[in-house]
Amino acid sequence: MIRQTAEDKVTGLVKNIAKGRNPKPKIVITGCMVGMATRDDSGKYIKALKKRMPEVDEFLPLEEVGFDYPALRSDITHAWVPISNGCNNFCTFCVVPFTRGREISRPYKEILKEIEDLSKNGCKEITLLGQNVNSYGSDLVKSQKSYKLPNGKIVKPVIVKHLGKFRIPTLFPYLLEDVCNIKGIETVKFISSNPWDFSNELISTIAKNEKIDRNLHIAVQSGDDKILKKMNRWYTRSQYLNLLKKIKSKIPNAQISTDIIVGFPGEGEKEFQNTVKLSETANFAYAYISKYSDRPQTAAHKGLGDDVPYAEKEKRFRILDELINHRGSPRTAVH
């Protein structure tokens, strides 16, 4: 749903599955596209999906799937494990809150159980997944005073306040630690984390636990305060840079990667140069750079227009890509 090309691939896949098979298999589609379509009161999107994919028997909203279905895995040594779904942040460019709905955390015990089973079957590396992975648990915590971990220990949820603001309570540092303690697990990664929930406790947990991967992905999106505000990313460039400084002082071998959008509405040369300067200071290991594209439903689509010409977006993309991804040994970023 994030990109048109991904939607087109799904349509092609459905046609390939259905083609020439007798009897036709039952096809059920779920995920972002369906989430967006079922939340649209006008009925326009679901109608369009049905027209594009008449082979599909059922469009199932993501929240009806839950976390209960065992994943099909072909890789034995590494597993992606979803720990939360949806997002409450409403960045103005992003469709995720509309496609996946509000943030729902998977039960703590269930995550540990799945990883224990994976480990027994030979899995050594785990990547914990969530749209805002480091806010995990905010909906599980009934009282901000205490939470009982599956091992019986009573802990205080972490309230992130390092950006000068109080955020929701999170259980993510505890979960990370518990996953690292599972016998047989050698490496733990997580994605996607956001600056506003990158707490001091999370930094300490990573610092003291060698199993946690030192490649940390923390989306910045822009290096300009005016654009960050328009994006509804409620940190400033200096708060972001201070966070990186803090991480590097506690975890000296940390490598930071990021996401950047170029050509967001209102991004002129001055604003773009602020992103260039931030990238130089941050010394990112790599960045996923995307050219802003207008997505229906988002606040940017409704109120900000799309005023940066495509050729300019392309130029800015190349400048940043060259600066971040092609210094020394070239790396290819996904655009």
Residues at the interface with ligand SF4 (CB under 6 A): 87, 89-91, 94, 96-97, 131-132, 194
38 vs 194, beta carbon nearer ligand SF4: 194
Q: How far is the CB of 181 from ligand SF4 (least distance, A)?
A: 28
Q: Which is nearer to ligand SF4, 91 or 212 (CB)?
A: 91
**Shortest reach from residue 45's CB to ligand SF4, in Å:** 19
Least distance (Å) between residue 82 CB and ligand SF4: 14
Q: How far is the CB of 189 from ligand SF4 (least distance, A)?
A: 18
Least separation in angstroms between CB 101 and ligand SF4: 11
Spatial separation of the C-alpha atoms in residues 157 and 146, rounded to whole Å: 6
CB nearer to ligand SF4: pick between 185 and 231: 231
Q: 155-188 burial by CB neighbour count: b if 16+ within 10 A, else e?
A: eebbebebbeeebbbbbbbbbbbbbbebeebeeb
Which pair of tokens denotes residue 9? 């691939």
Question: Within 10 Å of residue 239's Cβ, how many Cβ atoms?
Answer: 17
Q: Which is nearer to ligand SF4, 187 or 232 (CB)?
A: 232
Q: How far is the CB of 257 from ligand SF4 (least distance, A)?
A: 15
Q: Choose between 56 and 95: whose C-beta lies nearer to ligand SF4.
A: 95
Least Å from the CB of residue 72 to ligand SF4: 25
Least distance CB 100 / ligand SF4 (angstroms):
8
Query: 91 vs 112, which CB is nearer to ligand SF4?
Result: 91
Which residues in 259-295 are b (16+ Cβ under 10 Å) and which e? bbbbbbbbbeeebbebbeebbeebebbbbbbbbbeeb
Question: Where would I find the H helices in 19-134?
Answer: 32-39, 44-52, 62-65, 96-99, 108-120
**Cβ atoms within 10 Å of 195's Cβ, excluding its own:** 22
Output 40 or 116, the one with its CB closest to ligand SF4.
40
Shorter beta-carbon distance to ligand SF4: residue 131 or 170: 131
Q: How many CB atoms lie within 10 A of CB 4?
A: 10
Cis peptide before 173 (omega within 30 of 0): no
Q: Are 82 and 129 in contact (CB under 8 A)?
A: yes
**How far lies 181's CA from each of 28, 152, 178, 201, in Å?**
37, 15, 5, 17
Q: Can you say whether the dihedral through the CA atoms of 70, 76, 80, 83 is positive or negative?
A: positive
Report the Cα–Cα distance between both ends of the chain, in Å, rounded: 15
